[in-house]
Amino acid sequence: MNGVLFRISSVIAVVYAVSMLLACSPERHSNHQSSASESPQDYQFVPSADKALMFIGQDSESIADYIKDVPEDNIEGLTLYTQLKAADPEKTLMGVHKTDNWLAGDTNFNESLALVDPHASLAVGLSFDHCNKAESQNSHEQNIVEGKYDKTISHMIKHFKSLAPRKIYLRIGYEFDGPWNCYTPENYKKHFVK
């Protein structure tokens, strides 16, 4: 029972956090030259002013439990997490193609996405930190800047495009300013630009 309550409270916390972030959405692109046939929805994933999107996450079990326990909710998006930490796509992108667990519950993108409407959005938390002792000598952000992970990035982009018509929100290096992620500020900035 405590595990279910913990997972439900985690989902509620994620929903609250996403709602707060959406409430603070930035101004529409002021430097974008739109054509007469183009609307802001054509180039931004922003809901109309009177709407907020409901996202739930963060692991597959919590998502499944929430959907089972609260079937009346219209889930408009999921939040799932993965990693960009190797040049070979088979050695990273945990949870994207097969189930993985890094101590926060099992994550399987395909299983979780199968539970919601095909148009539900996906927010992907993309980690490339190097806090683990085994990775302490590697700077994933520097490897990305140097092009060492380009094959994996191309694979990831191709995969996310294949999920259309889903909208994908890519949270690059989420919580970048938290010391628990061990990002190097200068390398992080270069990575983000790449």
- Which CATH number is associated with domain 2-23+51-193? 3.20.20.80
| Percent of the chain whose pLDDT exceeds 70 | 73
Q: What is the pLDDT of residue 191?
A: 75
The better pLDDT of the pair 178, 15 is held by: 178
- Residue extents of the structural domains in the chain: 2-23+51-193
Question: 131, 137 in Cβ contact below 8 A?
Answer: no
- Residue 84 in this model has a pLDDT that exceeds 70: yes
**What single string gives the DSSP state of each residue in 28-50?**
P-TT----TT--GGGT-----TT
- Residue 66 in this model has a pLDDT that exceeds 90: yes
Query: Closest Cα partner for 17 from 7, 26, 9?
Result: 9
CA separation, residue 6 to residues 10, 66, 113, 176 (Å): 6, 11, 22, 25
Rounded distance, CA 1 to CA 99, Å? Answer: 24
pLDDT in tens, 24-42: 444 333 333 434 455 545 5
Assigned token pair, 166? 């889903």
Q: Average pLDDT, stretch 161-178?
A: 91
The better pLDDT of the pair 179, 134 is held by: 179
Q: What confidence category does residue 175 fall into, taking pLDDT thresholds of 50, 70 and 90?
A: confident
Q: What is the pTM of this model?
A: 0.73
Question: 172, 152 in Cβ contact below 8 A?
Answer: no
